[in-house]
Amino acid sequence: MILREISLRNFRNYLKLNLRFDNRLNIIIGSNGVGKSNLLESIYILGFGRSPWATLNRDVINFNENWSTITGHAKDRNIEVKVKFLSNGHKKAEVNNKTVKSLSELLGLFTETLIGHEEINLVRGAPSYRRKLMDMHISQIDPEYVQCLNKYNKAVTARNKILEKLKGDGVVGGKVLLESWNDILVQNGAYIIRKRKAFLDKVEKQCKEFFSFLSNEPEKLDIEYSPSFEYSSVEAIEEDYHKKLNEKYSRELRYSNTFYGPHRDDLTITLDSRSMRRFGSWGQSRAASISILLASAQLLEDFYNCKPILLLDDCFTDLDEIRSRRLFELAPQIGQTFISSPKPLSFTQNTDGFTYKIHPSGVVERMQ
C-alpha cells in the first residue's frame, strides 16, 4: 500500500506535522539530530504497531506532552491507520476509525522493509539481526507466525524458569510441567523453522540478482539456513527436536537454559563459498545486507500483489558511488521509497519525487 499522507502529533520532536508523499521516491535531508530517523520510525510504526528499536512506548511521546498519534493515509485503498501512544505506556490502533483488538492486526496493511543502521549489519552483526530480518518479514505475510513466535518465546522463558527450579529443590510435578512446555516449544518451534526455511529459499534466488546488480561483479552470493534440526518434514523436525531436548537435558538443567531451537538460529552468508562475516569487506557486506533486505521486500509484493514501502535510513554511508547510484535506481522499482541522508546525495539531482529538508527548528520544507 502506498503511503499518501502522514500526520504526526506530539511524536518525538514533531508537535504537529502533515506531509504528503510521492508514490515512488521521497528524500529526506537534514543535519544530524533534526528528526530524519524519527520520521521514518513513525512510518515503520504504522506498519508494525511498534518501534523498530527497543524503545519504551512512552519514549516516542514528545518530551513536553503526554500523548502522541501517528496517522497514515493510504493512496489506493482509502485506508486510514492511526496509532496512539498514551503516557501510561499503553498504545491503541485504529483502522478507519475502528479500534483493533490487537496491534498485530496492523501487519499486512502498510507492508514495509526497514534498512537502517542495524539492518545494514545483517551480514556482519550478531545472529539476532538475521533472526529479526526473518521475523520482520514473515510476520507481515503470516499472522499465524506472530502467534507462534509469541508462544515460542513464552515457552523458552517458562522452560528456563522451570529448569532453574528443578536444579534447586524441585517442584511437584516439575518434570511433567517441563515436558508440557517442551510440547509447546516443539510445536511452535517447528512451525517457525518451516516458515523461515520457505522464506529464505525464496529470498535467496532474488537476492543473488540484486547483489550482482548492485555490486556489478560476478561474485556468487549464497545464503544457507541451518536450523538445529534434521530438516525434511514437520514430523522430522518435531521428532529430532524432542530427541535433542532429551539428550541434552542434563546440560540444559546445569545451565537452566534452552539451547536448541529457532531462538538460536543463524544464517550462513557466503561470497564465492567464503564466509562473508569473516572475509567480506565492509562495502561488500553492506551490499549483501541490502540485497537480502530488498529481496525480502520484493517477497512482500509477490505475496500481497502490491508494492511494499522501503525505509532507507542513512544507508548510503560506506557504499561507493556506483553502488549508491544503483541502489538509488533499484529501490523505487521495488516499492515506495523513503531515503534519509544527512547530506544531499549528488546523484539525486534531476530525479522526480519529493525532497524534504528538515531544519534544526523542526520545520520541514519541500524542496523543488
Partner 1 sequence: MASRNKIPETLERVCDEFSKLPGIGKKTASRLAFYIMNLPREEALRLSESIEALVENVRFCSKCFNITESDPCPVCSDPGRDQEVMVVVEEPNDMFAIEDIGEYHGLYHILGGAIAPLDGVEPEDLHIRELIERIREGTIREVIIATNPNAEGDVTSVYISKLLKPLGVKVTRIARGLPTGSDLEFADKTTLKKALEGRTEE
- Interface residues with partner 1 (CB under 8 A)? 101-102, 104, 144, 147, 150-151, 154-155, 157-158, 161-162, 171-173, 176-177, 179-181, 183-184, 187
In sequence order, the β-bridge partners of residue 309 are 112, 336
Q: Binding residue for ligand ADP (CB under 6 A) from 3, 27, 34, 45?
A: 34
Q: By C-alpha distance, which of 224, 216, 181, 201 is closest to 323?
A: 216
Q: With contacts defined by CB under 6 A, how many residues of the chain interact with ligand ADP?
A: 15
Least distance to partner 1 from the beta carbon of 88, Å? 8
Least distance to partner 1 from the beta carbon of 12, Å? 26
Of the listed pieces 32-40, 84-92, 151-159, 184-192, which binds ligand ADP according to CB under 6 A? Answer: 32-40
Q: How many CB atoms lie within 10 A of CB 150?
A: 12
* By CB under 6 A, residue 355 contacts ligand ADP: no
Least distance to partner 1 from the beta carbon of 86, Å? 12
Beta carbons within 8 Å of 221's beta carbon, 6+ residues apart: 207, 208, 211, 212, 269, 270, 271, 288, 291
Nearer to Mg ion, 108 or 342 (CB): 342
Q: Binding residue for ligand ADP (CB under 6 A) from 37, 188, 291, 296?
A: 37
* By CB under 6 A, residue 38 contacts ligand ADP: yes
Q: What is the 3-state secondary structure (H, E, C) of 230-273?
A: CCCCHHHHHHHHHHHHHHCHHHHHHHCCCCCCHHHCCEEEEECC
Burial class (CB in 10 A: 0-12, 13-18, 19+), 336: buried
176 binds, among partner 1, ligand ADP, Mg ion, none (CB under 5 to 8 A by kind): partner 1
Least distance to partner 1 from the beta carbon of 154, Å? 4
Of the listed pieces 35-43, 62-70, 141-149, 322-330, which binds Mg ion according to CB under 5 A? Answer: 35-43
Least distance to ligand ADP from the beta carbon of 204, Å? 32
162 binds, among Mg ion, ligand ADP, partner 1, none (CB under 5 to 8 A by kind): partner 1
Grid coordinates given for 288: 549483501
Least distance to Mg ion from the beta carbon of 38, Å? 8
Residue with cell 507492508: 111
Nearer to partner 1, 177 or 253 (CB): 177
* By CB under 6 A, residue 289 contacts ligand ADP: no
157 binds, among Mg ion, ligand ADP, partner 1, none (CB under 5 to 8 A by kind): partner 1
**Is residue 108 within 8 Å of 304, Cβ to Cβ?**
yes
Residues between 42 and 81 with contacts to ligand ADP, criterion CB under 6 A: 59-63
Q: By C-alpha distance, which of 50, 52, 48 is closest to 111?
A: 48
Distance (Å, rounded) from C-alpha 98 to C-alpha 156?
A: 35
Of the listed pieces 16-24, 33-41, 110-118, 265-273, which binds ligand ADP according to CB under 6 A? Answer: 33-41
218 binds, among partner 1, ligand ADP, Mg ion, none (CB under 5 to 8 A by kind): none
Q: Where are the beta strands (DSSP E) in the chain?
A: 3-11, 14-20, 25-29, 67-74, 80-86, 91-95, 98-99, 112-115, 221-225, 267-271, 274-275, 309-313, 336-341, 354-358, 364-367
277 binds, among ligand ADP, Mg ion, partner 1, none (CB under 5 to 8 A by kind): none
| 118 Cα distance to chain centroid | 10
Q: Binding residue for ligand ADP (CB under 6 A) from 1, 4, 25, 35?
A: 35
Distance (Å, rounded) from C-alpha 339 to C-alpha 82?
A: 23
**What are the residues binding ligand ADP (CB under 6 A)?**
12-13, 30, 32-38, 59-63
